Amino acid sequence: MQQETSTDQRTIPDRGRVALAMSGGVDSSIAAALLLEQGWDVVGLHMKLHNLPDEQRRDRSCCSVDDSLDARSVCARLGIPFYVLDFTQSFHEEVVRYFADSYRQGLTPNPCVMCNRTIKNRLLLEKAREFGCTRLATGHYARIGRDESSGAWQLLRASDSRKDQTYFLFATAAGELPSLLFPLGELEKTEARDLARRRGLTTWDKPDSQEVCFITGDYRDFLAGHYGSGAPLPGDFVDSAGAVLGRHRGLAYYTVGQRRGLGVSGPRPYYVVGLRPLENQVVLGDEAELFSTGMEVAGVNWVSIPPPAGTLRALVKVRYSHAGAWATITPGEAGHVQVEFEAPVKAVTPGQAAVFYDGPVVLGGGWITPGQGGLS
């Protein structure tokens, strides 16, 4: 099914005004410089997403006070306008609440996917248009292309497979693709840093963000504080047959595949193989029980192709670090699909995203539901 695509956005003739999401990191910094050199009229937009105390600066997070200052400094050096947008209320409602509620329901959330869908694409794109911008650019490692036969816009993997971030972008609406720019899509990460260094951008050696931006310390402590009187309740560890093995602290503190911190011993190492919210039970088993032959995926967004009428074969990633597994995807009703793996896959986790690829093309993706392979 692999399609021929064209990805060179430098050939786009209609240079105009572009809004750039300025995180304060090296990627958005060099993206700003490259866009200017390509002839774009660049406006820097920095999103204030949450309120962390000033003393809780973290070098490996994003959206802190320091990041705002770094973004402002880069924009000043490049001579482009800089604006701070307060999205704290929307971020709390769309991302933080989703994060906490997912754990309450026995799901393992992916806040970065939700943030990209609701804040960095939809909401920021709306604001970009208010600034008179025709495009929105970000420092993501991804590409936008066109199907050479149909002319359809497509979301494509980045050239640097080690930094490819399309897994977090699958929920982008297909209609938004023509308005998006990813200036770093053809670059290696090391090349981006070197370009920033040679241009004298102070962020060139800044560490990458690798944490959930609104949490300091252990996410379990955040959940305990966020839930308040609705904090997760202790319950039973059970095996797949329902035999009680011990007591757990609360569903929110466990995820499929977890081995450490269980406090339960047995003849073989125990792993979390499932969560049962209705019974408030955490299911433990051995490593073999972690493997699934299939899964149901809900809320599917087809970003690069129309919703398929029949089955298709694709490479499916069940988490960001997953290399992908070949599977047959069968469309169902109401945005659901059934995925059948060609070989069993380990630690398929309800609540995480499943993303479908055809070569470099991101076909679409959705959210893994409880149900199969010991997941319910």
Active site residues: 115, 213
Encoding tokens for residue 201? 């951008």
Taking every pair of C-alpha atoms in the chain, what is the biggest distance, in angstroms? 66
Q: Where are the beta strands (DSSP E) in the chain?
A: 5-6, 17-21, 41-48, 82-86, 135-137, 142-147, 153-157, 180-181, 235-238, 244-248, 271-276, 281-285, 291-302, 312-317, 325-331, 337-346, 353-358, 361-368
Q: How far is CA 342 from the centre of its chain?
A: 25
Neighbours of 78 (CB within 10 A): 17
For 54, 102, 204, the CA distances from 38, given in Å and listed in that order, are 37, 42, 20
- How many angstroms separate the CA atoms of 36 and 79, rounded? 10
d(CA 209, CA 60): 4
Q: Give the β-pairing of 180-181 and 5-6.
A: unpaired
How many CB atoms within 10 Å of residue 250?
19
Does an H or E element contain 122, and which?
Answer: none
For residues 362 and 356, give the distance between their C-alpha atoms in angstroms, rounded to a whole number: 6
Q: Residue 166's closest CA among 325, 355, 359, 366? A: 355
- Sequential DSSP letters for 261-290: T-----SS--EEEEEETTTTEEEEE-GGGG
CA 111, distance to chain mean position in Å, is 7
User: With left for phi above 0 and alpha for psi between -120 and 50, is residue 104 left, alpha or beta?
Assistant: alpha
Alpha carbon distances (Å) from 41 to 10, 35, 81 = 15, 8, 10
Six-digit token string for 10: 């430098």
